[in-house]
Structure 1
Amino acid sequence: MKKQVAIIGMGVSGLAVLLALSQLPDKFLEKIDITCFDEPKHFGRGIPFQEDSSTAWINSPIDAISYDYHDMNDFQNWMEQKGLDTDQSYVPRSLYGRYMTERAHDLLQKLKASVIHEKVTQLNYEPDSQKWNIGTSQRTIPTRFDEVHLTCGELPVLDPYHLQGNPNYIADPYPLKNLPKQPGKKDRIAIIGTGLAAIDTLKWLLKNSQADLLAFSPSMTFPTVRILKTETIDWQSLTDTNKQKLFEENSFNFKSLENLFLSELQALGFQNWEETCRQFLAEGIPGISLSLAFPAQLFLLQQLASHLVDWLTDFWPKMTLSNRQYYKENYGKAIINLRNPMPEEAGRLLIEATAQGRLQIIEAVTDIEAGNYGFVLKREVGKELSVATVINATGYHLKESNVHQATTLIQQVIRDGLVQIDPEGGLSILPQTGQVISPKYGILATLYAHGSLVNGVIYQNNSTIKIQQMAERAIGNVIKKPTI
Structure 2
Amino acid sequence: MKEKVAVIGMGVSGAGVLLAYQKELPQHPEVQIEITCFDVPESFGRGKPFREKSEHALNNSRSHTISYDYSHEEDFVEWLQAQGLMVPEYASRRLFGDYLYDRTQALVKELQAQVIETSVVALDWLQDLQQWQVQIKESNGEVAFYYYDRVHLCCGELPSTDIYNLKGHVRYIHEPYPLQQFSEQGPKAGDHVAVIGTGLSALDVYKYLYDECGVRELELFSRSNYFPTVRGQEDQAYKCQHLTKESTKQLMAQQNGNFTLDNFDEMLSKELAEVGIDFQLYKERFFQPGIKGVLVSYHNPDLVTLMQHVMLQASSILTEAWPAMNEPDRREFNETYHKLLVNLRNPMPNDSAVELLKGVKQSEIRVLDGVEEIEGLEPSPAGVGPYFVLKGEGLEVMVDWVVNATGMDMSLRDVSESPLLQHLLDQRMVQVDSAGGLSLNFETLNLLSPRFGEWPTLHGHGVLVGGAIYQNNSTFKIQAQAHRLVKRLLADQ
Same fold (TM over 0.5): yes
Counterpart for residue 411 of structure 2: 399
Is the 2:45–2:100 Cα contact (8 Å) retained in structure 1?
Answer: yes
1:69 deviates by 0.9
Q: Distance in 1 between matches of 2:94 and 2:50?
A: 5
Is the 1:432–1:473 Cα contact (8 Å) retained in structure 2?
Answer: no
Overall identity of the aligned pairs, in %: 38
Q: Distance in 1 between matches of 2:313 and 2:207?
A: 29
Q: In the alignment, which of 230, 233, 239 is matched to residue 238 of structure 2?
A: 233
Structure 2: which amino acid aligns with 1:411?
A: Q
1:371 deviates by 0.5
For 1:42-81, list aligned pairs within 5 A.
42-81=43-82
Show CA shifts across 1:392-418 (max 9, x none): 10012242422334x111111111111
Is the 1:130–1:446 Cα contact (8 Å) retained in structure 2?
Answer: no
Q: Distance in 2 between matches of 1:211 and 1:402?
A: 34
Counterpart for residue 446 of structure 2: 435
Q: Distance in 2 between matches of 1:236 and 1:184?
A: 52
Counterpart for residue 418 of structure 1: 429
Poorly superposed stretches of 4+, deviation over 6 Å: 181-184
1:480 deviates by 3.7
1:358 deviates by 0.5
For 1:111-260, list aligned pairs within 5 A.
111-138=111-138, 143-180=146-183, 185-208=189-212, 209-248=214-253, 249-250=255-256, 251-260=258-267
Counterpart for residue 447 of structure 1: 458
Gaps of 5+ in 1: none
The structure-2 alpha-carbon separation of the partners of 1:167 and 1:255, relative to structure 1 and needing over 3 Å to count, comes to same
Show CA shifts across 1:24-73 (max 9, x none): 14363641111111111111111111042111111211011100010000
Structure 2: which amino acid aligns with 1:443?
A: E
TM-score normalised by the chain length of structure 1: 0.95
1:247 deviates by 2.1
Is the 2:431–2:438 Cα contact (8 Å) retained in structure 1?
Answer: yes
Count matched residues.
Answer: 478
Q: Distance in 2 between matches of 1:239 and 1:456?
A: 21
Of stretches 223-232 and 457-466 in structure 1, the one that deviates more from structure 2 is: 223-232
Show CA shifts across 1:128-183 (max 9, x none): 44311111112555542110000112211111000000000000110111125878
Gaps of 5+ in 2: 379-384
Show CA shifts across 1:214-243 (max 9, x none): 011111110000113134323221134312
| DSSP-derived class of the 2:321 partner | helix
Q: Distance in 1 between matches of 2:183 and 2:373?
A: 24
| DSSP-derived class of the 1:144 partner | strand
Q: Distance in 2 between matches of 1:192 and 1:2?
A: 50
Is the 1:47–1:154 Cα contact (8 Å) retained in structure 2?
Answer: yes
Of stretches 90-99 and 184-193 in structure 1, the one that deviates more from structure 2 is: 184-193
Structure 2: which amino acid aligns with 1:401?
A: R
Counterpart for residue 381 of structure 2: none
TM-score normalised by the chain length of structure 2: 0.93
| DSSP-derived class of the 2:14 partner | helix
Q: Distance in 2 between matches of 1:93 and 1:214?
A: 25
User: Does 1:303 find its partner at 2:309?
Assistant: yes
Counterpart for residue 382 of structure 2: none
Counterpart for residue 18 of structure 1: 18
User: Does 1:291 find its partner at 2:297?
Assistant: yes
Is the 2:229–2:294 Cα contact (8 Å) retained in structure 1?
Answer: yes
Counterpart for residue 103 of structure 1: 103
Is the 2:237–2:309 Cα contact (8 Å) retained in structure 1?
Answer: no
Of stretches 137-146 and 472-481 in structure 1, the one that deviates more from structure 2 is: 137-146
1:375 deviates by 0.6
Q: In the alignment, which of 375, 380, 386 is matched to residue 388 of structure 2?
A: 375
The structure-2 alpha-carbon separation of the partners of 1:445 and 1:355, relative to structure 1 and needing over 3 Å to count, comes to same
Structure 1: which amino acid aligns with 2:404?
A: N
Of stretches 138-147 and 292-301 in structure 1, the one that deviates more from structure 2 is: 138-147
Q: Distance in 1 between matches of 2:223 and 2:330?
A: 19
For 1:252-331, list aligned pairs within 5 A.
252-270=259-277, 272-331=278-337
Q: Distance in 2 between matches of 1:444 and 1:230?
A: 45
Is the 1:280–1:294 Cα contact (8 Å) retained in structure 2?
Answer: no
Q: In the alignment, which of 397, 400, 404 is matched to residue 388 of structure 1?
A: 400
Is the 1:134–1:140 Cα contact (8 Å) retained in structure 2?
Answer: no
